[in-house]
Amino acid sequence: MIDLSTRYLGLELASPLVASASPLTKRLDGVRALEDGGASAIVMHSLYEEEIAFDQQAHDHFLDFGSEAFAEALDYVPFPQTSPGPEQYLDLLREAKAAVDVPIIGSLNGDTPGGWTRYAGMIEEAGADALELNVFLLASDPDVAGADVEAHTLDVVREVCERTSIPVAVKISTFWSSILDVARRLDRAGADGLVLFNRFYQPDIDLEAFEVLPRLTLSTPESARIAVRWIGMLDGHVDADMALTSGVHDAEGALKGIAAGATVTMMTSQILKHGPGRFREIEADLRTWLEEKEYDSVAQLRGALSRRGSRDEEAFVRANYKATLDAWRPPSTRRGPIPGR
Ligand SMILES: Cc1cc2nc3c(=O)[nH]c(=O)nc-3n(C[C@H](O)[C@H](O)[C@H](O)COP(=O)(O)O)c2cc1C
């Protein structure tokens, strides 16, 4: 029997397949469905700094997803598109904790040090097993230097870590000059986990309305590559556990993340499309692959292809930019010679 058990943020999980923050957790039946579907831990949707600051209904950051969701796959009425506010968030967290056996990870989203970070302590009191902190900082001021953005992020992380004694994972973006340096400083600032990477939802231009509009597109399996690369590079440089989020759609995606060094691999898009039952299907495929390759456990695979674990130490570092570009062939050449010509 393959051992899929995994230790993430000090929590013993039955498998590395975790539900990332999504609208599914805005209702208790969504939380239950994730556990029933096979998620080994559940990250709640985020409580936002601005919701706390103004204690009013905040606009959801993740609009427009309805058309791709799997609404018909479960008997749900549509998920609320706005978050109900801090007190309701804590109530839901308490209820979720009582309703399921898998660990519940609270989620806070903000980018300035300040009073709102006290909610880290409240999330702990409400029963969360750990906290995921999403520092959603888009550097939009040309007068603010990159070093200041980094210092600011670290201040938020330190403040949150001081306000809670449960493990804290930090969900980060790709937008740093040196991801390795920032990740190591977050690790030293107290982060027990790093969640790679935050997907920034790029606005789109609607030519008809002649407006810039928010637009959410769900991930594709290719979205995982950037995180897999940096997890592979970070393995061995940080003590924090690493979680892969973005582009995990099947067992292959999860296995690649683990081979690069991820402790857990998280899913939202795939679950929104096909329902929480995907966790069990992917778990079965993980077992089959590991069995076929004669692994006894998922732990054996972890980091086997990271920069430090692999025989080809420089594979993740080498951009191989020129070789990659040179390898491109026009589609007709790739298909081989056309018969009769
Ligand atoms: C509709 C929707 C809502 C989301 N809500 C949150 C959220 O509240 N907090 C957060 O940190 N991430 C949120 N995310 C991001 C996901 O947790 C996840 O990191 C992202 O979708 C990439 O993973 P995936 O490729 O498996 O979808 C949301 C994503 C979607 C699609």
34-87 per-position pLDDT tens digit:
999 999 999 999 999 888 876 544 444 444 444 444 444 444 334 454 556 899
What is the dihedral sign for C-alpha 70, 72, 76, 80?
A: positive
Which of 44, 62, 265 to probe ligand 1 with, by most ligand atoms within 8 A of CB?
A: 62
Query: Which atom of ligand 1 lies closest to the CA of 266?
Result: 26
pTM, rounded to two decimals: 0.89
Distance from the alpha carbon of residue 323 to the mean position of ligand 1, in angstroms: 34
pLDDT digit string, tens, across residues 168-206: 999 999 999 999 999 999 999 999 999 999 987 788 999
- pLDDT surpasses 60 at 219: yes
Query: Which atom of ligand 1 lies closest to the CA of 43?
Result: 17
Query: What letter does residue 247 receive in the DSSP assignment?
Result: S
Distance from the alpha carbon of residue 335 to the mean position of ligand 1, in angstroms: 38
- pLDDT surpasses 80 at 1: yes
Which of 199, 272, 274 to probe ligand 1 with, by most ligand atoms within 8 A of CB?
A: 199
Query: Which atom of ligand 1 lies closest to the CA of 134?
Result: 11
pLDDT grade, residue 92 (50/70/90)? very high
Distance from the alpha carbon of residue 318 to the mean position of ligand 1, in angstroms: 30
Q: The domain 6-335 is classified under which CATH number: 3.20.20.70, 3.30.70.330, 3.10.20.30, 2.40.10.170? A: 3.20.20.70
Ligand 1: residue whose CA is nearest its atom 28: 22
Tokens of 224: 């995982």
- pLDDT surpasses 80 at 337: no
Residues 6+ apart with CB under 8 A from 214: 63, 64, 201, 203, 204
CB atoms within 10 A of CB 1: 7
CB atoms within 10 A of CB 28: 14
Closest CA to 14 of 124, 132, 130, 103: 103
- What is the predicted pLDDT for the residue at 327? 80
Pocket of ligand 1 (CB under 6 A): 20-23, 45-46, 62, 65, 107, 109, 134, 171, 199, 216, 218-219, 223, 245-248, 267-270
- pLDDT surpasses 90 at 215: no
Phi, psi of 46 (to 5 degrees): -85, 150
Query: Average pLDDT over the chain, rounded to whole?
Result: 88
- What is the predicted pLDDT for the residue at 83? 56
Distance from the alpha carbon of residue 45 to the mean position of ligand 1, in angstroms: 8
- What is the predicted pLDDT for the residue at 271? 98
Which of 268, 272, 274, 278 to probe ligand 1 with, by most ligand atoms within 8 A of CB?
A: 268
Ligand 1: residue whose CA is nearest its atom 2: 22
Between 25-34, 77-86, 312-321, the lowest mean confidence (pLDDT) is in: 77-86
Percentage of the residues of the chain whose pLDDT score is greater than 70: 87
Phi, psi of 183 (to 5 degrees): -60, -40
CA atoms within 13 A on the CB side of 186: 34
Beta strands 11-13; 6-8: pairing state? antiparallel
- What is the predicted pLDDT for the residue at 77? 38
Ligand 1: residue whose CA is nearest its atom 13: 21
Residue type for position 165: S
Query: Which atom of ligand 1 lies closest to the CA of 48?
Result: 8
Ligand 1: residue whose CA is nearest its atom 24: 246
The better pLDDT of the pair 326, 103 is held by 103
Ligand 1: residue whose CA is nearest its atom 30: 22
- What is the predicted pLDDT for the residue at 247? 97
